Structure 1
Amino acid sequence: MLPGSDGGTEKVTLWLMKGSASDEFIQKFTDSYEQEHPDVDLEVRTQEWTGIGDKVNAVLKGTAPERADVIEVGNTQVAQYVETGGLDELTLEGLRDWGSKDWLQGLADPGSINGAQFGVPWYAANRVVIYHKELFADAGIKTAPKTRQEWLAATQKLDKGKQQGIYLPGQNWYVLAGFIWDEGGELAVEGGGVWTGTLDTEQALAGMDFYKQLHALGDGPDNADEETPPQSEVFSRGQVAQIIAPPGQVAQIEALNPALKGKLGFFPIPGKTADKPGAVLTGGSDLIIPENTRNRRAAVDVITALVSERWQTELARTMSYVPNKTTLAHVVQGNDGATAMTSGAAQGRATPKSPRWAEVEAKNPIKPYMTAVLTGQDPRQAAKTASEAIGKILSSDR
């Protein structure tokens, strides 16, 4: 029983981001939760991503006209909100019940700051290889490549005439990050309170070199990212064998070219060896509790329900997401895109755990670095310039 101040029903407010869960899922979850907790009135409010940072910070500071007891945030945003202040620490309770030992690393790590857990992983999404089955068959490729070298060899076969082996824009730094991690490199590291960009290490340079080899097996632009033009539009024309994207882009591709329906497949981004897929940048969401909530125990109960096997399974199957735990990978069997994504998620990573990383993405010195390398400039010098810019942003005072 969780009585409110008037001895009646207690209101608990949950903020979810637009597009994270379907209306059907939200209604089913709300009805079920209220039935199991008759003294709780659960209100779910959908929020827009645009401008959400200011709204969340206002809630955390207690200056917002509206309140929230549980908030969905991007997994890489947790550090920024911890720095702002006002997040409840969740380290000492719930972690065992929430299955923390099996959490995906790329979701769990950003939610843990200095050994304290502030964000509870909810769901993940990451990139896979989307491929044109007929073009693969025409090239005599019967099985999906599992290593980088197999991938390069297959892509070279596919790159002929007007057909592109792969469409890989020159500034897709999300994909580059995975190649760097596979080599044992990092985007940036922290030591003694000072951040240093590390694109100029041997490992990071090796990751960029592989990116350059793969990029050369198609006609992707040197100086644009995956949205300029949208790679789903390029792929929909039917002359591209592969793109690297979240599986959800298939719906956009098929809408643009219905003739491709049923002709597209998925496989995890290959790794350096066949024993595991390549590393990927894990996107997704964590759940946080404001320190000033008046309903902390109820807020914890809501999170416990959302990350339970029942509702993780429902969410993953409804939205084609990766569940928050490696032990739930089986729940997306039968969904080829989600299955490929789940396999890759086991090698998921997150961006550097700095509250200023968002500023790096906004100014993004990684993109011009990539273009410099792809257009023949000295990789080491370009990497050094980009690394210095990253370090300056991360270590500067606001």
Structure 2
Amino acid sequence: MPQAALALTEDRRRCTGEPHQALHALLPDTDQPLTIPAARHPEQAQLEAAVFLACCEIGSLVHRVKFVSEGNQRVMMLGTELPHVGTDWDFELADCTVDEHGRLITPVVTCLEATRAAKAQTPVPQPRTEKTEGPVQIGALTRLIYHAVHKQETDAARQLRDTARLQLPRCEGQALEHLQRAIDHANDWIHQQDRARRRLFNRLDEAIRYGHDRNVSTLIPQVRKHLLGDAAATPQEAATLQAADAFLEEALRRAARERRAAKELRAAEARTQEARQAAAEEERRARRAAAREERRTRREAEAQERENQPVTQALGRKARNKARGRVQSITGRLRREALSTEQLQELVEELVVAAKEAGDILSPAEQNKVKEWAERSPSPQKSRTRPKPRPRSRSRSRTSSRALPRCRRISCPLRRLSGEP
């Protein structure tokens, strides 16, 4: 099978680099792996060994990938093969990195590079030689001092200044003058840097004492930058710098807590706002539903009113016609019958009420008749204060009480004495 043939030639292909097509014809019939033939001459064996060792020194390694079935999943495994060592599959993909050139760095490669670095750092014995120091050149020393001041290298300027002070006794004339001028220039620069350094640390100490975290965060980089080109910090300065770092870390933690609290507060406000908006939306929906229900009820009422309007109008016309009939009946009765004052007043009141119920259905003549009877009707106050009739004398002719219309019968004492009824 092709897969079995590949397995039989795998070792030789790995060691010699020969292609499988060339080795396939050399496979034996015993299904044994194809071995590497021995060298025919000692020189050939030495050459092969030298090439192999050179390849090992170069680092000829190969990254290999295989897939393993685990249930219904296919798991990719990454391995690194070293010459004459084999393939190491015992690491995870998360342990690998990629360098700036895009090369894959596995733990095997890291271990190999660490071994090579350790070998490279091994000191190589060198023959002992005595180094003779020549005399210091005053001109070069002066130039170095000016160059250190120009580049703002405070530590180098200190060392060169101290060296120049040691060279002052052996200088004279113009060289002494130039060297002294350079030393003074360095002293001025160093004093200025010392003042700036003290000022920075004083400001940092004050910012820590008063709790100005913004000033502390601004001053710490300046102090560290100043210390890079100057001498090491004193114990007091180191303590101040350590306190500043601790203060800044605490300020950062406090700011983080405040941000979290503000975030939680904003989230709570957002939830409250959402709840308020939801309540307002629910209220708006309820108002809209109530308005729709009211409009529907009003439309139904209007429709019902439009449906009932003809019946109502017919009933109103019928009632007015009935009231008109009562008006006609009452006016005819008033015109035909002789009524007492109380009966007349009651009929006139009933006539006025019927006229109001009839409304504009009455004719102008009927309305005038109603007004005339209302004016002719005596008021209730006048009827109460009506004077009693005077008794008649004996000389007058006796008249029957029936001949007096609209008057009550009055019993006279004289009639009772005379025996008249």
TM-score by length of 2: 0.15
Q: Whose helix proportion is higher, 1 or 2?
A: 2
TM-score by length of 1: 0.16
Q: Which has the larger radius of gyration?
A: 2
User: Which structure is richer in relative contact order (CA contacts within 8 A, separation 6 or more)?
Assistant: 1
Q: Whose strand proportion is higher, 1 or 2?
A: 1
